[in-house]
Amino acid sequence: MELRQLLCFVTVVEEEGFTRAAARLHLAQPGVSAQIRRLERELGQPLLDRSGRRVRPTEVGAALLPYARAALAAVEGVRRTAEEYTGLLRGRVRIGMVPFAAAHPVDVPGLLADFHTAHPQVEITLTEDTSDRMLAALHRGELDLVLAGLAAEEPPPGTGVRIVADEPLYAAVAQDHPLASAGGRAVPLAALAAYPLISLPCGTGVRGVLDRLCAEAGFRPRIAFEAAAPDTLLRLAARGLGVAVVPGLPTAFGLRALRIDDPRARGRVALVWRTDGPVGPAARSLLGRFHDALAQ
- Last residue of some domain: 84, 101, 116? 84
**129, 33: one domain:** no
pLDDT, tens digit, 9 for 90 and up, residues 58-76: 999 999 999 999 898 888 7
**157, 196: one domain:** yes
- Of the chain, the end-to-end C-alpha distance in Å amounts to 50
Q: Residue 61 is part of a domain; what is its CATH number?
A: 1.10.10.10
Range of the domain at 256: 88-296
Total count of domains within the chain: 2
The whole-number average pLDDT for the span 261-279 is 88
**127, 260: one domain:** yes
**64, 122: one domain:** no
- Last residue of some domain: 84, 118, 145? 84
**112, 141: one domain:** yes
**79, 115: one domain:** no
**51, 94: one domain:** no
pLDDT at 87 over 60: no
Q: What's the pLDDT score for residue 65?
A: 92
pLDDT at 34 over 80: yes
**194, 216: one domain:** yes
The whole-number average pLDDT for the span 47-68 is 91
pLDDT, tens digit, 9 for 90 and up, residues 174-204: 999 999 887 778 999 999 999 999 999 999 9
Give the burial class of 164: count Cβ atoms within 10 A of its Cβ; 0-12 exposed, 13-18 middle, 19 or more buried.
buried
**40, 72: one domain:** yes
Q: Residue 112 is part of a domain; what is its CATH number?
A: 3.40.190.290
pLDDT, tens digit, 9 for 90 and up, residues 275-288: 876 677 888 889 99
pTM over 0.85: no
- 10 Å Cβ neighbour count for 1? 11
Q: What's the pLDDT score for residue 100?
A: 66
Q: What's the pLDDT score for residue 250?
A: 84
**56, 101: one domain:** no
Q: What's the pLDDT score for residue 35?
A: 92
Please tell me the distance from the alpha carbon of residue 63 to that of residue 51, in angstroms, as a whole number.
Answer: 19
- Last residue of some domain: 38, 54, 84? 84
**13, 159: one domain:** no
**32, 125: one domain:** no
